[in-house]
Structure 1
Amino acid sequence: MTASATSTSSAQSAAARSATGAQLSFDMAAALVAASDRWSDACFATGPAEREAAEAGILGCYAAAGLPGPGRIIWMPSPAHGTIAALLGSQQSLVSLENGDASHLVAETRELLGDATVGKSVRSSLRDKPWEAARAAAVSALGPQRWAHAWSLTGGRLWQPVSNLVSQIRRAIGELVPEEDETTRRLLREATLDAVLGHQEAAWLAVFDGLTSAAADTHSTTWPDGLASLATVARSAGWWWPFDNLAIVCERPTELHRDELSRLHRGDGPALAYPGGFGLHAWSGMPVPKDFITTLVNVTPERIRHEDNAELRRVMLEHYGFDRYLADTGAKPVQRDETGVLWRVHMDGDEPIVMVEVINSTPEPDGTSRRYWLRVPPGTTTAREGVAWTFGVDPDDYTPLKQT
């Protein structure tokens, strides 16, 4: 056992002893939550990569795996460029990509890559094996229940938003070529799966950051063997591809816009943008065409009604405002009771818009009463039923003393 591995085992054992029963101690749980917050910041960070630190981390990853360093480290503007570089360096043909809308990405990548060839991928040695060993050691030290609790406070908090973001990036890269070109799409998809995700590895790095911090009450304690250098790269750069001849590394995004649920979201430009022109447009996490986003500022009820794509129509409605749409289309109330007014608007080829108009019983400072619109399920038949649904109770059990 190496000195690093011995130190790791001692740190994890100390962390385990600080927990009682099947639960983590308060201090350990706090350290894990703090680590999750740090890695959330790292994962969604934008701006230029810290290239010197990232390259040092990459060399450290090769050394930890017992491999000679790559002959070259080549930087790419985005994951799309990196994916293309990995394929070009493997001598793969990308004719349809070069002749299509993404031809500029291929040209930029060729210029940066030159005549370099990548050799064999060493991702498994640098990323997968250290993770598997560190996880097994942590489960052994903590026990399955405490490990599950530790994961829930770190990776469990980050996994969904991060995996959704990664999936959308991979999908967008695959869609750089027409759907009928299944061969090139498969090559692009496989190349994205060969990447180490850099700052988007945050979910699982957070748990080891928290455990080592809790063990020594310091953020400078020794990481599990092989993970320290991976964490250095993750704090400093985006996706990267380790090969035996060279490493391909990508910049972080220049822009990343999210909604309150951490989904990609922006109504006046790309929700995710990288140097070199690659990016994603999205509304509430749903990918949308670039030209669609640019026209949202001028959306009208007529355009909403005539949009054939139901998902895009819903985006338009959210942007326009459901209450505004009801008012501007001359919608009529279908039912009212002491809880509010029920409104319904038929939508061709889609479920109806059903909303409850309610009035805040607490007056505003100027004495007026503010109106709110609550969207409710399409099968709702009464205002009471709709309001009760927003509170998660049965209509017969909904008897508020006061509505605010």
Structure 2
Amino acid sequence: MKTRDVHDWSAVAAATGPADRAAAEEGIRLAYRTAGLAEPERIVWAASPRAAVEAVEKNEAGRLDREDGPALVYPDGFALHAWRGIPVPAEFPDELTGLSRARIRDEENAGLRRAMLEHYGYERYLTESGAEPVHRGETGILWRITLPFDEDVVVVEAVDSTPGPDGAHRTSWLRVPPTTRTAKEGAARTFGPGPDPGPGTSPRAS
């Protein structure tokens, strides 16, 4: 099959707007003929739910994300609330106003707890819990937060080596897999493979 034909077929397959059925079906038959296959006897059409979406809010990562309302709305009234890609109840944004460390720790839904923790801020949670670092290295500091009903949250505190326009060095808090043992390994995981085998143990935060 020619490259141009593949692109034409891909465009037809991914389309969600109003379609010229005759042209679309001819494109499908062309794809079969080009591949040396017998043309389909019939082509079944189905309405695309994506085409009926009235409103959608996404963040820079392409995930559904909205703090003050539903991130996805359909004409029939169905709506989906989401916080940085995590489905949340409609009343979730109101809960963030009075959020506390105890509320985060006691939340049994792992997805909601992670959203709360991200909103609350890793630095604030670690400070209020009196956490001790798991490992210190040239690339930053590794922290571990122990939460009930969920895997540990492991975060690398890293200072950008390049100063910003104001001359300050920005500090980033990057979540890494719970198996991470050193700051160097955590930093490597945020940019690519290359774990550091060195040890790193210390008290945990809760």
Length-normalised TM-score, structure 1: 0.40
Q: 1:260 to 1:139 in 2, by over 3 A?
A: farther
Deviation at 1:388, TM superposition (A): 1.4
Cα deviation digits, residues 75-119 of structure 1 (max 9, x gap): xxxxxxxxxxxxxxxxxxxxxxxxxxxxxxxxxxxxxxxxxxxxx
Deviation at 1:303, TM superposition (A): 0.9
Partner of 2:116: 316
Counterparts of 1:267 and 1:328 in 2: how far apart (Å)? 25
Residue 371 (str. 1) matches residue 179 (str. 2): no
Residue 381 (str. 1) matches residue 181 (str. 2): yes
Alignment check: 8 A CA contact 2:9 2:27 kept? no
Partner of 2:96: 296
More helix by proportion, 1 or 2?
A: 1
Deviation at 1:347, TM superposition (A): 0.6
Larger radius of gyration: 1
Q: CA RMSD in A?
A: 3.6
Partner of 1:265: 65
Alignment check: 8 A CA contact 1:269 1:294 kept? no
Partner of 2:28: 135
Structure-to-structure mapping, 1:60-75, within 5 angstroms: none
Give ranges in structure 2 of 5+ residues lacking alignment.
37-44, 198-206
Residue 197 (str. 1) matches residue 197 (str. 2): no
Partner of 2:78: 278
Counterparts of 1:396 and 1:322 in 2: how far apart (Å)? 23
Cα deviation digits, residues 157-176 of structure 1 (max 9, x gap): xxxxxxxxxxxxxxxxxxxx
Deviation at 1:278, TM superposition (A): 2.7
Alignment check: 8 A CA contact 2:72 2:80 kept? yes
Identity %: 46
Deviating beyond 3 angstroms after TM superposition, the runs of 4 or more aligned structure 1 residues are 130-134, 274-277
SS at match of 1:290: coil
Deviation at 1:276, TM superposition (A): 5.9
Counterparts of 1:287 and 1:389 in 2: how far apart (Å)? 26
Counterparts of 1:297 and 1:355 in 2: how far apart (Å)? 24
Counterparts of 2:92 and 2:176 in 1: how far apart (Å)? 27
Residue 338 (str. 1) matches residue 189 (str. 2): no
Higher relative contact order (CA 8 A, sep 6+): 1
Number of residue pairs matched? 188
SS at match of 1:355: strand
Q: 1:323 to 1:133 in 2, by over 3 A?
A: farther
Length-normalised TM-score, structure 2: 0.73
SS at match of 2:97: helix
Partner of 1:156: none
